[in-house]
Copies of this chain bind each other. A is one copy, B any other.
Amino acid sequence: QETKAPKFGDGLLNLVGQDSSWTMKIGARAQLLTTSSWEDGGENSLNFLVRRARLKFNGYALTPKLQYKIQLGLSNRDMAGASPYTSNSPRYILDAYLKWNFYKNFAVQFGQGNLPGNRETLISSGNLQFVDRSRLTSIFSLGREFSMQLSHHFMLSEQFKIKETVSIAQGEGRNVTTGNEGGLKFTGRVEVLPFGDFKSGGELVGADLKREETPKLALALAYDYNGDAVKTRSNQGGYMDSDIGLYETDISTLFLDAMFKYQGFSFMAEYANRKADDPFAKNEDGSLTGDAVQVGDALNFQSGYVFPSNWEISGRYTTLNLDQLVASSNKEQYYTLGVSKYIRGHKLKVQSDLSYLEIANSNNEILYRLQVEIHF
């Protein structure tokens, strides 16, 4: 007895409840990664990893105006981050939220999901142009957290679209069970699409697989203020312990980003900047604990062209400048060349990239990665 299912890449099952009272699309994906690296003066190292493996459930309940999403991370890297702050449990749930379109173009979202931060974070890890995100995101991303978000969008002209989101959260990242430490975190993001919508939400998809017929552009600014923050990367990174409990300081993060796509060509740029009131964690007597907020900035540019055969050549340049007082390797530069074969778009693809890492006060490194992604 067989059950008919959607075509490849469109979900395992598209459930529709009786009288269309609810829907659920069930998806699953995995990324199998092999990495080879050569450090100056070191030996080659060959590594294998199930990089990501996910189960996703989304749809609506009772009315299309009440959307939900649940996403689970199955791989060890997906679940990493267990600590006393997460009940020593793995961080298995990635997303778990309800989103209610309560009035016209207004929607409120309640639950755990991405915060409205930088574009590269908002692009699903299943839709990336390279094997993985850039160093900018690994240092500055706001990632996921339980929050209340209010979003809205409107048209300035027939094509010119503006989208705004504001969010309030605890400010300590996802899956925290111990309640709020320090103060609250406020985030806002405004995005403009002057030439209209990208095909299939392409402003949040790497590579121009849809081959936009007219030039499409998205520009966005996001700002985040985390009052009395207790972690080294605002709501990410490690907790800053001191001898009188957690060290607290105000942290702000600014993002500027852009996406451009046209006829197979794509270009993405991002800038990130983090400031802290006093980045150096201190004990009661003022002595340094050794922890510090990772203040500084980063820049990322990446571009690619998808040939009609769905092979893509892409390049990326990332530079990270942490404040020299908080990091010894305060200047990092990454040059990456990528080759991807999109067998069924982002749903079955083989991606490979070669990077050259120039890291101040550290050995330079060459990194080769090959990843297969399968996404039902």
Chain A residues in contact with chain B, CB under 8 A? 1-8, 12-19, 21-22, 24, 28, 30, 32, 34-35, 45-50, 53, 57, 61-62, 68, 70, 72, 74-77, 79-82, 86-93, 96-98, 110-112, 146-148, 169-170, 175-177, 179-180, 184, 343-344, 348, 372, 374, 376
Contacts and interface: CB of A to CB of B under 8 A. Distances in A.
Please give the count of copies of this chain that the complex contains. 3
Given A53-B96, A79-B87, A87-B76, A48 B147 contact: yes
Contact of A17 (B8, B87, B92, B374): B8
B76 A93 contact: yes
Contact of A49 (B4, B45, B177): B177
Contacts of A32: 96-98, 110-111, 146
A89 B79 contact: yes
B2 A3 contact: no
A61 B348 contact: yes
Nearest to A112: B50
B12 A12 contact: no
Given A1-B17, A5-B15, 9 more contacts: A3-B4, A7-B19, A8-B21, A32-B97, A47-B170, A61-B374, A76-B89, A76-B90, A80-B89
Chain A contact surface mostly: strand
A45 B311 CA distance: 52
A175 B76 contact: yes
A111 B176 CA distance: 31
10 contacts: A1-B17, A2-B15, A5-B17, A5-B22, A6-B17, A8-B61, A48-B148, A48-B180, A68-B374, A82-B88
Residue of A48, A57, A110, A147 ringed by the most chain B CB atoms within 10 A:
A48
Given A1-B5, A70-B30, A74-B72, A48 B80 contact: no
Which residue of A2, A24, A82 has the most chain B CB atoms within 10 A of its CB atom?
A2
Contacts of A111: 30, 32, 50
Nearest to A50: B96
Contact of A57 (B2, B17, B28): B28
A344 to B, nearest CB: 7
Given A8-B62, A76-B92, A184 B348 contact: no
A35 B146 CA distance: 13
Contacts of A21: 7-8
A98 B13 CA distance: 21
Nearest to A145: B48
Contacts of A79: 87, 89-90, 92
A101 to B, nearest CB: 15
A24 B90 contact: no
A177 B76 contact: yes
Contacts of A184: 46
The 6 A-B pairs with the shortest beta carbon distances in the complex, nearest first, are A80-B87, A48-B146, A7-B18, A47-B179, A5-B15, A79-B89
